[in-house]
Amino acid sequence: MLTNADMVELTAFRHALHRQPEVSGQEAGTAERVAEALPAPDDLVTSLGGHGVAAVYHGAQPGPTLMIRAELDALPIVELGAMPHASERPGVGHLCGHDGHMTILLGLARLLSRNRPERGRVVLMFQPAEEDGSGAKAVMGDPRFEALTPDWSLSLHNMPGIALGQAWIAPGPMNCASAGLKIRFTGATAHASTPEDGKAPTPALPRLIDGLRAMGPGGAMGPGFRLATITHLRMGEPAFGIAPGEAELWVTLRGLGDSDLEALLDQAQSLAREQATASGLNVEFEIHDRFSACTNDADAAALLARALEAQGIAHETGDLPMRASEDFGRFGSVSKSAMLLLGAGREVPGLHTQTYDFPDTLIPQGIGIFHRAIKELLG
């Protein structure tokens, strides 16, 4: 069991992480702090897929590998919270609660260092670059990951809008697949008095926007769900004397499954090519922030549900699946994986807002949930 002194130290550690946030791909300092704080792992892998850290605790007997994942990265958002542990780095903040997730795994590490599992092994995975969807792929692409490959993978995410300390968990689809698509049209400028002498993207853009909205209308979650959200648009130079010769449109595409997203990406690019041809433009594409769909394995979801029940934590299926994406989904390709949502309170700021702060009361709850799952699976 963790002592009151443990909880005081863990809470202080979360606050220290919160003061020094680092964005995706730049988590070197966070990773170093985590690695130094891990008590007596049997194996420690650092710089995994970038700045990832994996701490391994072995059982005495052979058995399955259970991976539990937290995220290292923060967000490029100005924090406006007034708490004493507010971010000390301008323009960056732990406004998604990843500092809390890391602290939960560090609490688990304390328990595992004092009492190893009876069999198998536990891998505590501190994943880099979750927010841009690149971290899990990089971790899995690191040659050292093969030796860590889990049979089971578990994670949680704190979630405003759910009663504090209650949980949502369900088998099946959990988070949408998504990708950011940049579409760039290139034509030719002209004098604003003779726009017919150039090749402007002006006629193509409204048709493209209408078409994207029609192919990704959103609506109720369910099979075939697709959503296209225009997030940025820029055209030409900020001048009254020039008819524009280029434009760039950014759209975030979402699908309930990976195949839904693939079809939407293909359809969006086909539409952009059609509009480019119709207006005599060239078109180029870039794909960013690619997230696989996150699907809860039935056995892994049941394991988490039993852990919640053993801890006396109320849970329901809630409003699942979520439209938002989650990089944890990639680990489901190599293991039985499941994520739960742990309530941060109903009347609190939302994730990615400038005043969000992870509730410290969730630290012991998160530790308890995962420790119960470890005990059931590995003894």
Task: From 291, 318, 348, give the residue that closes a domain.
Answer: 291
Q: Is 242 exposed, middle or buried (0-12, 13-18, 19+ CB in 10 A)?
A: middle
Q: What is the pLDDT of residues 322-339, one digit of tens each?
A: 999 999 999 999 999 999
pLDDT of residue 1: 84
Tell me, what CATH number does 182's domain have?
3.30.70.360
Same domain, 34 and 102: yes
Same domain, 25 and 152: yes
**What is the rounded CA–CA span in Å between residue 133 and residue 136?**
7
Three-class SS state of 335? coil
Q: What is the pLDDT of residues 193-237, one digit of tens each?
A: 999 999 999 999 999 999 999 999 999 999 999 999 999 999 999
Task: From 238, 261, 291, give the residue that closes a domain.
Answer: 291
Same domain, 299 and 345: yes
Report the greatest alpha carbon distance in the chain. Answer: 81
User: Nearest-CA neighbor of 33 among 105, 130, 112, 122?
Assistant: 105
Q: What is the pLDDT of residues 158-178, one digit of tens each?
A: 999 999 999 999 999 999 999
Same domain, 253 and 374: no
Q: Which two tokens stand for residue 286?
A: 């870039």
Domain encompassing residue 235: 177-291
Pairing of strands 152-160, 61-71: parallel
Same domain, 246 and 132: no
**pTM (2 d.p.):** 0.94
pLDDT of residue 207: 97
- What mean pLDDT is reported for the chain? 97
Same domain, 42 and 167: yes
Same domain, 367 and 300: yes
Structural domains in the chain (count): 2
Rounded (5°) CA angle 103-105-107? 70
Task: From 291, 314, 332, give the residue that closes a domain.
Answer: 291
Same domain, 284 and 321: no
Tell me the β-bridge partners of 178.
254, 291
